[in-house]
Amino acid sequence: MKIRPVEVDDLAPVFHLGEKLFTANTVPNLYRTWDEFEVVGLYQSDAEYCFVAEIGEHLVGFVLGTVISKTKSAWKYGHLIWMGVDPAFARQGVADRLARHFLETMLEEGVRMLIVDTEADNLPALKFFRKMGFTNPQEHIYMTMNLSGRQQTALEKKGNGQAKK
């Protein structure tokens, strides 16, 4: 297995793997949207914190993150934003290698605190991140409203706010 920085040719495979993993049906409370703009934006702004895992010629996982520096604080914060592993390669150490590589990069950058978030009921992720050394879990409440059934009504409304019949 090889861990390396994301390259421009990796953007489409990373996006498509994330499409399989981060859907509104499986993770309805995502506060960030998994789309091509998210992937490209992180690559453009923070490529040095974005890595892929390869086994042979296959891209089998990725980690995308950032570093946040406050001008009035000496602290630098690392944020592991997205991490995904192809389910066909689960339990082969891919996530562990990606997370350790990301952690080493954060240490080299002088990051003093690393942040990750996941759903409170995502027990495999919680177990994984605890194993990696993350502690002090805090629960936050994110609420969602699925607007897909309301789209037609919104399209039918014109000018005066009245629905056309």
Q: What is the pTM of this model?
A: 0.78
DSSP state of 108: H
pLDDT at 42: 93
pLDDT at 17: 95
pLDDT at 97: 96
Mean pLDDT for all residues in the chain:
84
If you average pLDDT over residues 86-102, what whole number do you get?
94
Q: Nearest-CA neighbor of 53 among 22, 91, 99? A: 99
C-alpha distances in angstroms, 106 versus 47, 66, 68, 101? 13, 9, 11, 9
The strand ranges marked E within the chain are 2-5, 50-55, 58-69, 76-85, 113-116, 157-158, 162-163
Q: Nearest-CA neighbor of 51 among 37, 42, 23? A: 42
pLDDT beyond 80 at 104: yes
If you average pLDDT over residues 29-49, what whole number do you get?
83
* Reported confidence tier of residue 59, pLDDT bands at 50, 70, 90: very high
Q: Which residue has the higher pLDDT, 141 or 99?
A: 99
Each domain of the chain, given as residue ranges in start order, spans: 2-140
Class of 2-140 in CATH: alpha beta
